Amino acid sequence: MRVKIKGEVTAERLAEALNIASEKYQVVRPGSKIYGANLYLSAFDADGQPFDLGDDRGEPVIITIEAKSGELVKPALTAEGEKRRQEAKAKQQAVRAEEEALADKEREKSLRERQDLVNRRTRARIQFESVTALTAHCLKTMPYHLVDELNKTVQTVWEELKPVERYGGQPKALPVFQIRPEGLVILSAAWKNPKKVINPVFRMQYGEPVPHWVHDAWVEVTKRIIVQLGELSKMVPDPAKA
């Protein structure tokens, strides 16, 4: 128990605090006695400035009042007290073991999640590199056929899903692939400038490949384009041999 005395501390007020604390202890555990106490004093000088006493090393002064000869420093532990102590210790150990088991499970979960993230990113990276290589191969061997097929896929999905803008409900502008001197680009009436892409499916964001857009229509487009690229790649020699 901590006892806080506000205002000037006097012997009478210390005695009052001790009596109040004893009464509260007695309510919880009748017959209990108080042995030992740590008293922290906050002193102020005559000018109202707080200060503390220090020893020759600058450490706070500690005053210890020893027990008189023959006085108990603390009461002997009875058999019932030892039983309760052991029960409390066992309970505490059980709680600690439960906490440690829970912490182990959390660590294992965190490790699994990190490993899953690494695996997911690795698979996505491999797919990104594969799609990029297929795109480069098709752009080299059949650029205009590739663009025609990509635009047919986009138009088909747009006709099927009829995507609209999030605000206003207007039809979402149809993206169009084109071949330009800088490479493969995507244009849309909603954009000021075309977007150069190294493949029609993914772009890099914070070191991870992500779709160019995440709305439902484009997600469906990407699924079909991945299959489409695989089919187109069969029409020409293997990229490694080209």
pLDDT in tens, 60-112: 888 888 888 888 888 888 898 899 889 999 999 999 999 999 999 999 999 99
* β-bridge pairing 183-187 and 176-180: antiparallel
Q: How far is CA 224 from CA 45, 64, 201, 228, in A?
A: 83, 83, 10, 6
User: Mean of the pLDDT values across residues 180-190?
Assistant: 90
Question: What are the DSSP calls for 87-116, one per residue?
Answer: HHHHHHHHHHHHHHHHHHHHHHHHHHHHHH
**What's the pLDDT tens digit per position in 201-220?**
888 888 788 888 888 999 99
Q: Determine contact, residues 150/186, Cβ cutoff 8 Å.
A: no
Contact 52, 60 (CB under 8 A): yes
Indicate yes or no: pTM above 0.85.
no
Instruction: Dump pLDDT digits (tens) for 110-135.
Output: 999 999 988 988 888 888 888 899 88
* Cα separation, 21 vs 17, whole angstroms: 6
Q: 236: pLDDT confidence band, cut at 50, 70 and 90?
A: low
Q: Going by C-beta distance under 8 Å and a sequence separation of 6 or more, which residues neighbour residue 202? A: 127, 128, 131, 132, 209, 210, 211, 212, 222
